[in-house]
Structure 1
Amino acid sequence: LQENTLFDLASGREHYLRVVERKTASIVAAALSSVAELAGAPQSTIDAAGTYGRSLGISFQIRDDLLDVYGDPDLLGKPLYADFREGNPTLVAIETYARLDPKRQTEFERLFQRRHKKASHLIRMRELADAAGVRGPITLESQLWAERAIRALA
């Protein structure tokens, strides 16, 4: 599912969320609901653990995608811009593209679709993400998924 949309910014946020649901969220949900089941919890607790895990997994993946662009590589232990470099249409890339004016959209798309990106290309993509103002709204979206996770346990 994810490989089919590499270098494709038109896939959109709904597709992104479906990929995250099937990739990260389903793993976290299965792990947490399995632990609850193994502990002998009632079905309502097992279901709540799964719902918590799903929302937590989505929050985590959105945050991880943000850290790929805005994180500290020394703290993360990995270089920045891996998703940009690989043409992975994360929420950062999708929202950057959607929020830019047509001229900058064309520039971002051209850079995003390059198979071999130089450091200067990646830095320019980050500058365009900054110009689009995506960091705050995407951080908020991650926080909202985390809050949804917490409400599942209430």
Structure 2
Amino acid sequence: MRTLDLSPLFRSTIGFDRLFDLVETAQRAGEDHYPPYNIERLADGRYQITLAVAGFAPDEISITAEQNVVTIEGNKAEKADREFLYRGISTRQFKRQFSLADYVQVKGASFDNGLLRIELLREIPEAMKPRRIAINGGSTANVHQIEAKAA
């Protein structure tokens, strides 16, 4: 696999650390494909991550939400008294991380029929939403002219 060396960019950029971390994470993401997952947009600002975790029980999976990252880890205790003739259902340990955009929060998780579903919601604070600013001062004719030009 071809890798990209970002070290020359580190010398000439300031404040782009998170961007470079995302690029490096994207490069490493191609290395492991277990467990398989889907990411869905349910509605505007609502998302769902679904992981296929057959063979795991809910108490063998942990979900950790940190700033802009949700981490799902699975640890399956092996039972020595079992002898498999063929093992096609993988129960190996895993750790999968998803980077979240600003203001995306984990709202809950459910486990059903071997599928782990993680509900995400993007809630932008009122202070960060665009708002219209009234222009004060001058005559009312100037205000109407400004509004007409803006429309």
Range class of TM-score, shorter chain: under 0.3
Higher relative contact order (CA 8 A, sep 6+): 1
TM-score normalised by L of structure 2: 0.25
TM-score normalised by L of structure 1: 0.25
* Higher fraction of strand: 2
Please identify the structure whose Cα radius of gyration is greater.
2
* Higher fraction of helix: 1
